[in-house]
Amino acid sequence: MNYSIIIIIALIIVSLSMLAMLIRVIKGPSLADRVVALDAMGIQLMAIIALFSIFLGTTYMIVAILLIGIIAFLGTAVFAKYMDKGKVIEHDSNNNH
Amino acid sequence: MSLLHIAVLIPLIFALIIPFVYRLHKRLHLGWFVLPVPLVLFIYFISYIPTTMSDDAVLLEADWMPKFGMNYDLYIDGLSLLFSLLITGIGTLVVLYSISYLSRKEQLGNFYCYLLLFMGAMLGVVLSDNIIVLYLFWELTSFSSFLLISFWRENSASIYGAQKSMLVTVLGGLCLLGGLILLSIATHSTSIHEMIANADNIQTSPYFILSMVLVLIGAMTKSAQFPFYVWLPDAMEAPTPVSAYLHSATMVKAGLYLVARMTPIFAVTQGWVWAVTVVGLVTLFWASLNATKQQDLKGILAFSTVSQLGMIMAMLGIGAVSYHFEGSESQLYSAAFTAAIFHLINHATFKGALFMITGAVDHSTGTRDVKKLGGLVTVMPISFTITLITALSMAGVPPFNGFLSKESFLESVIEITHVDLYNLSSIGVLLPIVAIIGSIFTFVYSIRFIGQIFLGSYHEDKLPKKAHESSLLMLISPIILALLVIVFGLFPNLITSSIIDPAVNSISKSVSKPAEFHFFHGFTPALFSTLLIYLIGIILIFTFSYWVHLLKAQPDKLTINYWYNNSGKSVQLYSSKFTDTYVTGFTRNNLVIIFLTLIVMSAIVLIVTPVSINFKDVSNIRAFEVVIVILICVAATMMVLAHSRLFSILMASAIGYAVAVFFIYFGAPDLALTQFVIETISTALFLLCFYHLPNLNRHNETKSFKAVNMLISIGAGLVVTIIGLIAYGNRHFASIANYYKAHVHDLAHGKNMVNVILVDFRGTDTLFESSVLGIAGLGVYTMIKLRSKKNTKVEGGNNNEQTEK
């Protein structure tokens, strides 16, 4: 019983912080602000899922947490590359179709 | 299959063989190979005369598609035998004539193939007992007639005429099909003689009037009745043997055959009597009026054919009155049937001969223009004699057969005014007047036809060729026909008991009295009207140059051709305009149509059917769900309102992740996993596309455009939401999920139910979804790799560099 109250409080806190991140994503003057906010949102999402797993008493969601971790990293990396070079996948210099 | 079945198919079989003969054998004229076909058939059909004379009818059945009610059944009685003899007899003469008419430079293989096709089709029409087979052959006659009219296909007038005749006759043919289907629904039978036996069922069925109208339209288009006669004058672009055969003796009589055949079914209504009679008389009057002002010999004959067909039609209508009486009175009116059948034979003889002579004159002088012709009597004496006999027969002058049938026609038209039925006694007075006026003009153009070609002065300089008498071969057929005109005129009894009476008996209800024809039968009104016709006709001929201007002053707008051409143009114009209104080439307009259809259809269904939104299955709302919903709503709104494309993509992926969280919250870890990965990949793909896309302007986005889009999107959303709520609240059966839950382990040896369903219970779906992915991958690969080289050279190199943010 106590556990669940704590978990709900934690969930609310994470959700609020996620909302704050969302505002940053919407307002964010530059693309970099938004990408960083999105990355943070991904990690908050991991936290939410972890809290949920405890709340629902299941272990099936652990995979999802790991996956989000990978994806959040990948997404951020892709955005970063995009902002850096203007393209995501670079072509082989020899194979210039 | 009996001999008769084969007899009908013989022309069709020969139509297949003849082109090969033409290829292999070039020395002899192809017509000689074709000639035996109709001749043998003619002799074969003569052998049926004793059968029909004793009022027997032969029904020969052969299964084709019995379950569908479409059988190749043939029925031979007096009426069909008469038509078969006409088709094969005139067919023989026409083939003989065509041997000298068409030179060997023409494409004879095509010609005789089409002609035999037509002959077989026509035999099928008159002999079929099954209405569907009848319709099949009916369309085959239209089709082969189309081919024959456009025989000289380099000539644009031929193509125009062929198209016109095709459109009109196929219109009628389709109406006929409708009528026949209604008849078969009413009687549960597809056999004509069974329908006649069950005529009461049809008369009480609700489809009676509709089927009658449709069948009549079919018959009227084929038989070139008012106002559907427009195609026949233009069909004169066909070679003359075709005009003689199809457009005077056989095909145009298919409609008359149909009317005669259907008379026992429909004659009980006054609609049939009135429609057939009035249409026939109007056609007679209108076409004879038009025939007098034609300048082309075949034009005259075409309109003359139309008017004579109208006359036969009117007689069939008058004969139908006999169905309303009993006994001797009935016989009085069924005399009109006798007149109709007799005139049908007569018309085939004299009109065939006239067409053939026209062709001979055309061959000999090189023109058919009446202004250039004249004074050929000394040059072409035999042709002159034949024309004299046949044209006088057409005018209704004794001692030729046309006189006899015209007398009977006038008699029956005058007789009809005495009928005390459907107000015929009051309005019916107009009928003989119209008939007499029509006959006067018939007399005028017939006599002038002789004069225009053979009398008057001979203008050698005007003629393209030096005129000469035609070859004997070309004249044999018209001579035979002219002889028949005289023989039938002098000794009508030769054919009355053997051919006419059986034919009349198969049309009329009661056994009619044997037909008798006399040149003089007392001072009857018919005789006086004949004398009146001659008198006024002669006066009109001598004053022709004075009043012909009146006829020619007919404004263009009052011709049916004008309306035909105009309607053809306007149909094209308006349909293209209509198509332009919705085929704009813009995908967004197509989407508007699709979504509006969805909204309107669903709204109609929701309004019409009683529905209830039921909340009994809805669970309690938890706080976290609300948070996610708000998140999704905000993201969706931002996505729509976004000005930059990148922001829209970000919002789209935010929605995707939020949905994945939903999945987690609702206990679907597999879905959530997939959703996370797919969302990431598609976001990456969006970014990739976005990077390559040029900076398109959002053109034409006016305020009203946006407002319409908004309304449509709100409508679509509302409709889908409402339907979803209704569907959720109204589940009638329990879910099948319990079965899966119970058996996921014992049947499939798995613990993950989603995966077990995907690969075990419903593995086929997964297989094809995998193949969809494979196809998509291959498609992407091909689109990228196999771009045409041209494009790559022009744009390919630049595409990657053109980045606009």
pLDDT means over runs of 10, chain B (805 residues): 86 90 83 90 89 82 86 88 91 91 85 92 92 92 92 90 92 93 87 84 84 92 89 89 86 90 86 87 89 87 91 88 77 82 89 90 84 81 89 86 84 77 66 87 89 79 74 88 89 81 80 66 78 89 81 74 88 92 86 93 88 79 84 89 80 88 85 88 82 64 81 93 87 83 87 88 93 94 79 48 40
Contacts of B638 in chain A (CB under 8 A): 26
Question: For residue B526, what are its two tokens?
Answer: 């018919």
> Which residues contact residue B74 at a Cβ distance below 8 angstroms, ignoring those fewer than 6 apart?
B2, B4, B5, B8, B58, B59, B60, B62, B127, B128, B129
Q: Out of A38, A60, A71, whose CB is closest to B676?
A: A71
Instruction: Say which amino acid occupies B196.
Output: I
- Please give the helix or strand (H or E) that residue B92 lies within, else none: helix B78-101
Q: Which amino acid is at B750?
A: G
| Integer Cα distance of B540 and B80 in angstroms | 40
CB-CB neighbors (< 8 A) of A21 in chain B: none
What is the least distance, in Å, from the CA of A61 to any CA of chain B? 6
B654 interaction partners in chain A (CB closer than 8 Å): 22, 25, 38
Q: Hey, is B198 helix, strand or coil?
A: coil
Q: Which chain B residue lies closest to A64 (C-alpha atoms)?
A: B673
Alpha-carbon distance of B149 to B237, in angstroms, equals 6
Show which residues on chain B lie within 8 Å of chain A, measured between beta carbons. Answer: 624, 627, 631, 634, 638, 646, 650, 654, 657, 660-661, 664-665, 667, 669, 672-673, 676-677, 680, 683-684, 687-688, 691, 784-785, 792, 796-797, 800, 803
Give yes or no for a contact between B38 and B157, defined as CB atoms under 8 angstroms apart.
Answer: no
* pLDDT for res B271: 84
Q: Among residues B361, B358, B353, which one has the least CA distance to residue B468?
A: B361
Give the span between the Cα atoms of B281 and B283, in whole angstroms: 5
Task: Count how many Cα atoms sit within 13 Å of the Cα of residue B254 in the half-sphere of its side chain.
Answer: 35
Which of B217-246 are b and which e, b meaning 16 or more Cβ less than 10 Å from the residue's Cβ?
bbbbbbbbbbebbbbbbbbbbbbbbbbbbb
Residue A67 and residue B677: Cβ atoms within 8 Å? yes
Which amino acid makes up residue B500?
Answer: I
Length of chain B: 805
Within 8 A of A86 by CB-CB distance, chain B residues are 691, 803
Q: pTM (2 decimals)?
A: 0.81
Summary mean pLDDT of chain A: 82
Any alpha helices (H) in B609-752, and if so which ranges?
623-641, 645-665, 669-692, 703-729, 737-743
Residues belonging to chain A: 97
Rounded Cα distance, B433 and A67, in Å: 99
- Reading the block at residue B767, the tokens are 């297989």
A51 in B contact zone (CB under 8 Å): no
B interface test, pick of A21, A25, A73, A96 with most B CB neighbours within 10 Å: A25
Q: Left (φ > 0), alpha (ψ -120 to 50) or beta: where does B697 sit? A: beta
* CA B538, chain centre distance (Å): 42
State residue B790's pLDDT score: 56
Long-range pairs of B655-662 with CB within 8 A, sequence gap ≥ 24: B656/B682, B656/B683, B657/A41, B657/A42, B657/A45, B658/B628, B658/B631, B658/B632, B659/B632, B660/A64, B661/A45, B661/A48, B661/A49, B661/B628, B662/B625, B662/B628
Question: Are A88 and B684 an interchain contact pair (Cβ–Cβ within 8 Å)?
Answer: yes
C-beta separation of B357 from B474 below 8 A: no
B796 to chain A: closest CA residue: A97
Question: What are the chain B neighbours of A87 within 8 Å (beta carbons)?
Answer: 691, 800
Q: Which of B168, B136, B175 minimizes the C-alpha distance to B149?
A: B168
Chosen for mutation from A11, A26, A43, A70 (greatest number of chain B CBs closer than 10 Å) is A26
B242 CB-near residues (< 8 Å, 6+ apart): B115, B148, B149, B151
Q: Locate A30 and state its tokens.
A: 């530059």
Check if A83 contacts B (Cβ < 8 Å).
no
Contact across the interface for B684 and A87, Cβ inside 8 Å: no
| CA nearest to B78, candidates B125, B43, B45, B122 | B45
Q: What is the gyration radius of the CA atoms in chain B, in angstroms? A: 38
Count contacts between A and B (CB, < 8 Å).
69
CA-derived radius of gyration, chain A: 18
A70 touches chain B (CB under 8 A): no
| Chain A residues within 8 A of B661 when measuring between CB atoms | 45, 48-49
A85 part of contact set with chain B, CB < 8 Å: no
- Inter-chain contact A71–B691, Cβ cutoff 8 Å? no
Burial of B659 (0-12, 13-18, 19+ CB in 10 A): middle
Asked if B683 and A97 come within 8 Å (Cβ–Cβ), the reply is no
Among B650, B651, B671, which would you mutate to test the A interface (most chain A Cβ atoms within 10 Å of its Cβ)?
B650
Q: How far is CA B711 from CA B592, B640, B702, B715, in A?
A: 11, 14, 14, 6
Q: Which residues contact B125 (CB under 8 A, 6 or more apart)?
A: B134, B137, B138, B141, B254, B257
pLDDT: which is higher, A79 or B792: A79
Looking at every residue in chain B, the average pLDDT score rounds to: 85
Partners of B676 on chain A (C-beta within 8 Å) are 64, 67-68, 71
CA distance A73 to chain B (A): 11
DSSP for B741-782, please give it: HHHTTTTT--S-HHHHIIIIITHHHHHHHHHHHHHHHHHHHH
CB atoms B691 and A88 under 8 Å:
yes
Note the Cα B127 to chain centre separation in Å.
21
| Residues of A whose CB is below 8 A from B667 | 56, 58
Name the A residues in 11-40 with CB < 8 Å from any B CB. 11, 15, 19, 22, 25-26, 31, 34, 38
What is the per-residue pLDDT for B805? 37
Tokens found for residue B439:
């006959």
CA closest to A39 among chain B residues: B654
Q: Is the Cβ of A7 closer than 8 Å to some Cβ of chain B?
A: no
In B, minimum Cα distance to A69 occurs at: B676
Instruction: Please indicate whether, in this complex, the C-beta atoms of B687 and A71 are within 8 angstroms of each other.
Output: no
- Predicted ipTM? 0.75
> By the 8 A CB rule, do B414 and B432 touch?
yes
Which site among A60, A61, A95 would you substitute to test the B interface, given the most B Cβ atoms closer than 10 Å to its Cβ?
Answer: A60
pLDDT, tens digit, 9 for 90 and up, residues B371-389? 888 778 888 888 888 999 9
Amino acid (one-letter) located at B676: F
CA distance B789 to chain A (A): 10
What is the phi-psi region of residue B350: left when phi exceeds 0, alpha when psi lies from -120 to 50, beta otherwise? alpha
Give B518's DSSP letter: -
With contact defined as beta carbons under 8 Å apart, do B492 and B404 qualify?
Answer: yes
Let me know: does B158 contact B152? Beta carbons within 8 Å.
yes
Tell me whether residues A61 and B654 touch, CB distance under 8 A: no
Q: What is the three-class DSSP state of B58? A: strand
Give the containing element (helix H, strand E) for B223: none
Which residue shows structure tokens 């006419």? B500
Phi, psi of B286 (to 5 degrees): -65, -45
